[in-house]
Chains A and B, each alone.
Chain A
């Protein structure tokens, strides 16, 4: 179902639930993996995905369509992730890079990565990036999102995003090369 059709149905109280159900089914996988890449842990990702879609439900009526629905949902999910990571640091009095260390421990425990040393190093390298740079890296490298769309999601200029991705990619390559035995 097209976004316009979903929005039209959502504005009709009689078909609101159906429209929301369709919206969730359409975007849940993308939102889930976008969040999961940021927080690594499934339980945390599940909470954040639900919070994201609850916010979508609460504010979709006021959605002005000056951005695409997909971009708007991504922006909500991104803000949820960044707030979550920030509150985690505040809660445990952690310095900026220690959440990355905690997430790296979760990576090592992940069965899917066991035995794939290059992939594990790559993921650890990504987790060492600052949150916002990691977000830019994920959107570009994994989601292959165009820079213009990334600018809508992050509220950052295209030029700044290109520079951020370039620096992030260099840092990742450098880390993997230095730590690969």
Chain B
């Protein structure tokens, strides 16, 4: 370079000579921007945004509880007694006979008696001594 470069003497441009934007860029930019700034339309659920927050919460709760209730009432409940009634009598008998733990008539007729706890072992006295002590006690008439 013969003469030193000076900005004042350099041809000034409105902007650097870079590759210009694509064709019709400035024609399309406003449309693209309008698409960005417009809220996304949701016509099916748009009315929800009009409700207040507590109302929306209450509505959501009702929907959830309603769902539970509907599933409870609409689902077929397996009834134990009704399903047992559907089993043929013969199959029931076969099942009971096939099990290892069988009941005998004696099991059904007698209930195991409660074991009487005797406290005689703790009394260091003869029956005669006990009777004598009992006779000596005053007996209230209210007990007779």
Contacts and interface: CB of A to CB of B under 8 A. Distances in A.
Interface string B9-31: 01011111111111001100110
State the main secondary structure of chain A at its contact with B.
helix
A142 B18 CA distance: 13
Contacts of A173: 4-7
A111 B19 contact: yes
B7 A29 contact: no
Contacts, number: 84
A122 interface: yes
B37 A20 contact: yes
Contacts of A45: 21
Contacts of A20: 33-34, 37
Contact of A141 (B5, B7, B38): B7
Contact of B29 (A28, A37, A123): A28
A123 B16 contact: yes
A46 B34 CA distance: 15
A32 B19 CA distance: 13
B132 interface: no
Given A173-B4, A180-B5, A112 B33 contact: no
Contacts of B20: 112
Interface of B: 1, 4-7, 10, 12-22, 25-26, 29-30, 32-34, 36-38
- Going nearest first, the 8 A-B pairs with the smallest beta carbon separation are A33-B15, A176-B5, A57-B37, A24-B30, A180-B1, A112-B17, A112-B19, A53-B33
Interface of A: 17, 20-21, 24-25, 28-29, 32-33, 36-37, 40, 42, 45-46, 49-50, 53-54, 57-58, 107, 110-113, 116, 118-119, 121-123, 126, 141-142, 169, 172-173, 176-177, 180
